[in-house]
Structure 1
């Protein structure tokens, strides 16, 4: 399925972008405080290239930004062309529940699936590129301070690796990988901001209950497959390390950390090692977030850094989070397409699902269904809210019929105006989980949800005869287009 070669590290991906004319070097000096943010967002809004800042007011190390600023580059990070994303989603769905082969011919046709399974097994290197050199401390990194009221320098693309208490360093299938923002407190102290429902936080609670420090490894400048696997909302039973091998089409190379009992990406640009000790927290923030607002200051665990290793002439990868469009919202659009086949496997009548990026990606969902019976729209709403952890934060679901384009706001508005009665077709649910960064919720982490049934009402859903929709003959529409082709632009 892959049309692009595997990218074993960030540099290989940057070489590909350069060959495509999709990387720009910024030679003029740029400040790490706020100014670099403005440049990144301006490039992203123009669907611009990957940016390499060679001159800035921080430590002498190039900064790479806007890596996944376009849908095409997110697809390339998966080894795909953009038109292959839907088919790749079907392939990933088949890996979750493969059907038994029917004869040798069918078994041979499934070689890509077998190859993907093999690629899911990491391998350990004895000589790791990321351990070629050492850095004296976190102050040797050109870390941005993205927004004017931010509490300090913020590492924004860290792949934070943890493992549960009682596990061994070699049990990589039990590792959790998450992209958690990390505030720099000093040369050897880093705040790790993981929310309570995240895998890293669950591991942290286990070590704290045992009264033991937790080993942590943080990879900076990882390869695109590892970055995307860490960002994906995967089920808890799926290993991000293994899944990155599937995405990459190549096994993930790991290496033993020097000062903590962990394995970590051998081909990352920079590797930060350390421990999180019981009760060691610090106030984190405020920081600008994907909602377009600053977060409140709250205590989060502190990582005591024990070693920082790097490649020769390392690159520092950064991004900016803010009100969409931003890089996470671009990634979220692609993830929406990849997740659709998995969702349809659980909800077969679901034809399409759109998470509008402007609604912070997951806060709102518009769903198109093949409606066949009364109450079906409400069943789909409840199924979505309970299906994946990310949908527990979706506070608005609008369900429409299969004849509409859910990515067209005019179609959505028309359906809500003509196929929905507020008293009958709105379902309100109270006291449900919510992202505590949602300041509109009455309580932190607990809020209501609304489901809007904007489908045509059938059977006992209405006591009135439903109106007949006006439609022209398709032949007449085609004739009109032909007549006007040479007249109108």
Structure 2
């Protein structure tokens, strides 16, 4: 039951027509990543590149490129996980089908990893430079492992005190020595606790980086598991078998069936510049000091395959992870966050920047609901929950206002909000907090702001979709266009504002428009660099608006005021979503590489029919 290693998974995908072998030589510098992204966009198969320039190891990508394939890979485990989730939610449900109880002991048994004396991963060793030097984007700082499973243990040691996370690993470039690699982990990650313990004790932190192996380990590493549930245990449930680990003296355990394991240590004080790296929000994460790992040994099995993914502006392959995780755990949301019906990190907006949530107003059912009450409390709970705390914008609605509301339909959700929101009352800021490490809109690395926008009660306005003919804009602003009902994008002049400072140009824009002007018929106005691009689709609008703005510095309003430290506005809310001088650059394709790859996809070429 379940795949024991990556090779058996790839063989099974190929047997079922879900994998394509590519024997033509391909370059891990830009070519492989672009091919994978194009195949993903076309809903294509998993890819096995058997002739990779500069390395003897084949590379496998797009393994989780469709939801159907992801479900197929974990098909054996789904009934057990469903049973466990139901047991958590409502044990009475299990009594309706007593036969499902028999699945529980087996699932629980597989939670415990097992120790073995030897394994395939210990068959060979190599140098970091022997691994594929994979670069997705032209400004990447060196070769990266993009599906690394980084394993650490607390000072107490043992599986129950372990953390397995997917933190990117840079294996070449910058100032790294041949036996060093950079370990980029972001805030709110479990490894940080272990690193802190090591630093406080003055000891080196031992680290193992697993590559490949059982697919269940890969998914477990990105699961938002409750504290105290080791990822290696959940991998056993996902894989349908106890995960075997090899342990040598004075070393951390290694999955016996991994394709590669990089073993080493981190000196708690040792850092080196890591990056840049073209990241999943659609921009580069820039070069910053991150922990550097001193490599003792790189292990690999005889038939090792190097798995990878290429990220960029969503959707990409990692979108499947998010969707699949939601399928597995979505029903647990009300148990973890009482009153919350659903939460969705919007993929098109870069995931972390924008959360949509549905709460429930239950405080005073004997009164007519005229404003948000309980959902404000629930919003604070959402922003205090794990990686949800990294969000910048949280839109929260009341379930009882429209029980058909769907968090996975952002346009309809935002329309519902804009019909009800009162900008004088319903904006709630946190002006100096942590945000996602990959977000450069704030006032420093990991530093920024948040806003909760809550709406509850009856509709207070009718939304318009036609731009009034008599709209007069201040000098430098042009091309007003309706993206959707109630939302207007306007092209603005180039931004020159300083980090952490309000922009006088946008302030003047708001101050120059009277409240009785027709433009205020649109409750939300977004200032952008390229109006045609931002208004071309709802996905473009979401990406531009929420990846290029920081609530505290980039939210303005027509007829705005501050009363008792509460910001509100009488007219339209204005978001400045222009690129700022301090923002990270957006990802762009290398034209020459794009032409070469497209030529390979022409009729008779090795990539014909893939995209």
**TM-score computed with the length of structure 1 as normaliser:** 0.84
Matched, 1:251 2:238: no
- 1:385 match: 383
Q: Secondary structure at the match of 2:377?
A: helix
User: Can you give the 5+ residue segments of structure 2 that lack an aligned partner in the other structure?
Assistant: 463-611
The 5-angstrom pairing of residues 232-311 of structure 1 reads 232-257=223-248, 260-311=250-301
Tell me which residue corresponds to 1:199.
190
1:303 counterpart SS class: strand
**Aligned residues of 2:187 and 2:437 also touching (Cα < 8 A):** no
Question: Structure 2 vs 1, CA of residues 337 and 433 (structure 1 numbering), >3 Å: closer, same or farther?
Answer: farther
Deviation track 1:130-158 (CA, whole Å, cap 9, x = no partner) reads 112222x0111113012101111111111
Give the drift of 1:43.
0.8
Distance (whole Å) between structure 2 residues aligned to residue 40 and residue 298 of structure 1: 28
Per-residue deviation, residues 346-380 of structure 1 (Å, max 9, x unmatched): 34543333322112223222223454455133232
What is the 5 A alignment of 1:36-435?
36-79=32-75, 91-94=83-86, 99=91, 109-135=100-126, 137-165=127-155, 167-168=156-157, 171-184=158-171, 185-257=176-248, 260-372=250-362, 373=365, 374=369, 375-386=373-384, 388-400=385-397, 401-435=402-436
Pairwise CA distance, 1:183: 0.8
Structure 1's 219 and 276: CA in aligned 2 closer, same or farther, altered over 3 A?
Answer: same
State the SS of the aligned residue for 1:281.
strand
Among 22, 25, 32, which residue is 2:21 paired with? Answer: 25
Q: CA RMSD in A?
A: 2.6
* Alpha-carbon distance, 1:443 to partner: 3.4
Q: Which moved more, 1:402-411 or 1:113-122?
A: 402-411
Asked if 2 retains the 8 angstrom alpha-carbon contact of 1:415 and 1:455, the reply is no
Matches of 1:138 and 1:361, distance apart in 2: 32
Cα distance, 1:145–1:410 mapped onto 2, change above 3 Å: closer
| Contact preservation (8 Å) 2:81, 2:237 | no
Partner deviation per Cα, 1:157-185 (whole Å, 9 max, x = no partner): 111111112x24xx111111111111113
- Shift of residue 94 of structure 1? 4.7
Q: Distance in 1 between matches of 2:214 and 2:94?
A: 37
- Equivalent position of 1:474 in the other structure: none
Aligned partners of 1:426 and 1:133: how far apart in 2?
58
Quote how far apart the aligned CAs of 1:63 are: 0.4
Following TM superposition, by how much is the alpha carbon of 1:92 offset from its aligned partner in structure 2, in angstroms?
4.3
Which segment drifts farther, 51-60 or 332-341? 332-341
- Of 151-160 and 319-328, deviating more is 319-328
CA contact (8 A) 1:333 1:357 kept: no
- Taking the aligned partners of 2:346 and 2:15, their CA distance within structure 1 comes to 32
Question: Considering only CA atoms, is the larger Rg found in Structure 1 or Structure 2?
Answer: 2
- C-alpha offsets along residues 224-277 of structure 1, whole Å, 9 cap, x if unaligned? 11111111122231111111111112111111147x421111101111111222
Distance 1:265 1:333, change over 3 A: same
Give 1:21 deviation, angstroms.
0.8
Query: Residues of 1 paired with 2:261 and 2:232: CA distance?
Result: 16
Q: Is the 8 A contact 2:150 2:210 kept in 1?
A: yes
Do the aligned partners of 1:257 and 1:273 also contact (CA within 8 Å) in 2?
no
Contact 1:284 1:300 in 2 (8 A): yes
Q: Output the CA distance in 2 between the equivalents of 1:279 and 1:393.
A: 26
> Contact between 1:289 and 1:295, CA under 8 Å: does it hold in 2?
yes
1:89 touches 1:340 (CA, 8 Å); kept in 2? no
Distance 1:153 1:234, change over 3 A: same
Check the 8 A contact 1:176/1:199 in 2, yes or no. yes
CA distance in 1, matches of 2:159, 2:301: 23
SS of 2:277's equivalent?
coil
Q: Answer yes or no: is the 8 Å Cα contact 1:122–1:242 preserved in 2.
A: yes
Change (3 A) 1:303 1:98: farther
Per-residue CA deviation, residues 371-398 of structure 1 (Å, 9 max, x unaligned), is 4455133232122112x21110122222
- TM-score, reference length from structure 2: 0.68
